[in-house]
Amino acid sequence: MFDFAIAGIQAPLFLLILTGFTVGIVGGFIGVGGGYMVTPALIVFGFPGYMASGIDMTHIAGKGVVSTIRHRQLGNIDWVLGLAMIGGTMLGVEQGVRLLTWTKELGLSGIVLLTASVVIMLVLFVYTQIETAQAHKKMTKMAQEGEKVGRELTVSKGPAFFQRIPLFPIVRCRTAKIVVSMWVIVVVGIVTGILAGFLGVGGGFIRVPALIYIVGASTHIAVGTDLLEIAVSGGYGALRHSMMGNVDMIAVLFMIVGAMFGAQFGSIATAYVRGPAIRYILSYSLVLACVGAFLRLIYMMTGQKYEILSFFAVVFTLGEMLFLCLFIISLVYFSVRYTNGKNVPDWVPALVVAKK
């Protein structure tokens, strides 16, 4: 146990580093900050709620920079797309925070927040899971028929619809290879920003699906570009939280020690897989976070009487990070095996790239 003087608690040091490492891998892979996993985990470790948010946001800023640099080297960042979204997101977050303050004044914020989290994550999980399973099936069929299978395939009709909206100015996002109205990008940023500001999260788990299914970016570009966004918004959030005294920098430093390595691995791992693999991991993270939030909601609504619910909520929160990390490492392992011509399960070839 380590004595965190600023937070005024003792917490297990290796768990902090391990959390930074596992969420770094997940965040670098699916393009999220991981706040919806880390903040509850830090509360479980003993940090007060306001400090858990501050530590999480500050470590996300550092991890976001590491991931952005790596994704830039992999060619996964579209600067036009990223900078246009940042503007919209900043506006949206401000409105989302005001909405949260209003629900707090009505005395409803805890239950409303958790219910909104559960509903949003469930809807995103269902859509992402169904679309990805259809894309996976199509890629498997193409591979069996001897057709060339590219790195990305989506079956969603959303991008075709939104890219046809003729509102001036129309921007050409060269890296993402899309041509779309700037207003589509800005409005997506505003709406996802409102949701993020209201839920008190970075919003990556909302923005990445929005970039894929509305704007039409490929999964890899959506992940890299969103991490750029997270580095910027995380930096601003870290500054604000520090000014309010919500940050224990020693805790942040230990988390970043783990996150530095995790984020590198997670970012590089995207080069070993196709788009549907990343979307699968994103959908799993949503459903597990949804289950954890649902258990906490039931625990709160039953007046915190049933300790077993709290136990399961904690185990799900910690187990989710480990599960996602293990799945990502497995995908890289299977990709290496597949490249070397060794046996892999039948569901693997359509999800991984044979790296020469």
Residues 6+ apart with CB under 8 A from 281: 26, 29, 30, 324, 327, 328, 331
Residue (119 or 322) nearer to another protein, CB? 322
CA-to-CA distance for 77 and 195, rounded, in angstroms? 23
Question: Closest distance between another protein and the C-beta of residue 197, in Å?
Answer: 29
Our finding on whether 319 is near another protein (CB under 8 A) is yes
Q: How far is the CB of 168 from another protein (least distance, A)?
A: 45
* Residue 175 Cα to chain centre, angstroms: 21
Q: Does 315 interact with another protein (rule: CB under 8 A)?
A: yes
Which of 108, 111, 126, 322 touches another protein by CB under 8 A?
Answer: 322
Cβ neighbours, 10 Å, residue 126: 13
Contact 55, 251 (CB under 8 A): yes
Query: 285: closest CA among 313, 308, 311, 319?
Result: 319
Question: Does residue 345 belong to the site contacting another protein (CB under 8 A)?
Answer: yes
Comparison of 1 and 179: residue with beta carbon closer to another protein? 1
* CA atoms 189, 195, 196, 197: torsion sign: positive
By CB under 8 A, how many residues form the interface with another protein? 24
Shortest distance in whole angstroms from residue 90 CB to another protein: 35
Instruction: Identify residues 269-298 at the interface with another protein (CB under 8 A).
Output: 284
Minimum distance of another protein from residue 307's CB (angstroms): 8
Q: Pull the structure tokens for residue 223.
A: 């992940």
Task: Pick the closer one to another protein by CB: 223 or 309.
Answer: 309
Stretch binding another protein (CB under 8 A), from 23-31, 119-127, 242-250, 341-349: 341-349
Binding mask 12-41 for another protein (x = CB under 8 A): x--x--------------------------
Give me the residues paired with residue 273 across strands. 352
Identify the CA nearest to 246 among candidates 100, 56, 93, 98.
56
Rg (CA), the chain: 20
Which residues contact another protein (rule: CB under 8 A)? 11-12, 15, 44-46, 284, 310-311, 314-320, 322-323, 326-327, 330, 345-347
